[in-house]
Amino acid sequence: MKNYKALVFFDLDGTLLDVKSKISPENHQAILELKQNNILPIIATGRSPKEIKEVILGTSIDSYVSLNGQFNVVEQEVVSKHVIPVAIIRELMSFSKLLGHSLACYTENDYATCYTTNSMKKLYELDNASLPKISSDFYENNEIYMVYLFSEDKEKDQLYQEQFSGSVAFYRDSPYSMAVVLKGQSKKSGIQQVIKHLNLEHLPTYAFGDGNNDLGMFEAVDTAIAMGNASDQVKSHADFITKSHMDGGITFALRHFELIN
């Protein structure tokens, strides 16, 4: 581990990535400069490790908080992971089917569903990602770290929260989906676990985000930076508002805080 001067956490969608789910050459350069300045860039996202590895290919990033804090890696070493019990997933499967919704179960390297729905198709099209494979027993035979619940019925979100209040937490991260993780786990807790593992609580920390599921991440760092394309609610919780993710917002803020030249 290097003698780092600061830690910077980046959400992916709507933040570090463009509308095609790619990292721009400008952001590639910014990440390189951070590493050259002994500042550690860390991804913090709801996406899986497999997806993260695909989108950061060619960058020098080797640390991430994935699946909303369920599977966390520092310098290619797994520092914490949280498995959802099979019994909880079975109950989620039954309850969601009653409400006409579908689920996708995520491991470190793969994801699968029992059946597809229009809401599911919309989410993966939005993320420029492949649909889950079909498998009825995938969650029975693999360690599942996060479940995606596909629903556009926001008025039914409360039903899930009440039914599973003692076991899991739900984070609506798009018009089509909610991320489901173990109660007590989140981007915030994942970031805290990473900082503790590194024993770098004394260093300045920064986080970039645009969505409501980034609010916990903001609470875990010293300086919260909202993208220009973020919602008003997210902006209201930020210490600094930068430009849009499509208008050089990452570089603009990093320069503002003198993290890169």
Condensed to tens digits (0 to 9), the pLDDT of residues 153-211 reads: 999 999 999 999 999 999 888 999 999 999 999 999 999 999 999 999 999 999 999 98
CA dist list (Å): 161 to 75, 105, 196, 217: 35, 18, 30, 21
Q: Which of left, alpha, beta for 189 (phi over 0: left; psi -120 to 50: alpha)?
A: alpha
CATH of span 86-182 = 3.30.1240.10
* pLDDT tens, position by position, 41-83: 999 998 999 889 999 998 989 999 999 999 999 999 999 999 9
Q: Which CATH class for the 6-81+185-256 domain?
A: alpha beta
Percentage of the chain exceeding pLDDT 90: 90
Q: 2 falls in which pLDDT band (50, 70, 90)? A: confident
CA dist list (Å): 55 to 28, 51, 52, 86: 11, 6, 5, 30
* pLDDT tens, position by position, 85-129: 999 999 999 999 999 999 999 999 999 999 999 999 999 998 888
Q: Which H or E run contains 126?
A: helix 118-126
> Which position has the token pair 């600094």?
240
CA dist list (Å): 194 to 75, 156, 162, 201: 10, 34, 30, 10
Phi, psi of 43 (to 5 degrees): -80, 140
* Region(s) of the chain under CATH 3.30.1240.10: 86-182
* Region(s) of the chain under CATH 3.40.50.1000: 6-81+185-256
Q: 236 falls in which pLDDT band (50, 70, 90)? A: very high
Q: 1 falls in which pLDDT band (50, 70, 90)? A: low
Q: Which of 252, 218, 250, 223 is nearest to 234 (CA)?
A: 218
**pTM over 0.85, yes/no:** yes
Q: What is the pLDDT of residue 127?
A: 85
